[in-house]
Amino acid sequence: MALANERELRTLPPEGHEVYRWPSDLANPDAGYVVFIDEATRQRRIKARAPEDAEEQRLSAKAEMRRTAMEAFRRTACLVPVEAITYRVAVNTILRDLETRGMIPAAKLFTASELDEIKPY
C-alpha cells in the first residue's frame, strides 16, 4: 500500500525492481497469494457485509490508487496472483498450487457440486 499511496500506476518501479523483493532479514515464505476480484464484485461484497472501514473507503474513493496497489502486488515476485470468481474457486486454485509445490495442505478441494451451488461473490 505504501507504493499506492506515493505513486500512480504509470510511475511504479518496473517489474524486478528491488522494492518488490522480499526483505533479506526475513525468512522467505513457502508460498504467498494475492487474490484479485473485479471492482464491481468488490463493491457488492463490501455492501453485503459491515460498513466500509477506512482503508476500503480510501480504495473506493481512489480507483487509481486501487489499480496501483493491485499492480504493485502483482509485481511482487513472492506472491502468486489468483483471479477469484468465487471464494471456493480461489481456495481450490490455491490448494492446487500448494500441491504442485510439494506442500500437502490439510484442507480438501471443494467438489464440483459444492462449486455449482454457490453464487459468485
Task: List, for residues 12-42, the tens digit of each pLDDT value.
Answer: 999 999 998 888 999 988 899 988 887 777 7
Domain, as residue range, for 93 = 31-117
Residue 57 lies in a domain: yes
Residue 22 lies in a domain: no
Residue 11 lies in a domain: no
Residue 38 lies in a domain: yes
Residue 108 lies in a domain: yes
| Total number of domains constituting the chain | 1
- When pLDDT is averaged across residues 51-65 and rounded to a whole number, the result is 72
Residue 90 lies in a domain: yes
Chain centre to alpha carbon of residue 53: 18
* 0.85 exceeded by pTM: no
Cell numbers for 109, please give them. Answer: 478441494
Say how far apart CA 3 and CA 103 lie, in whole Å.
32
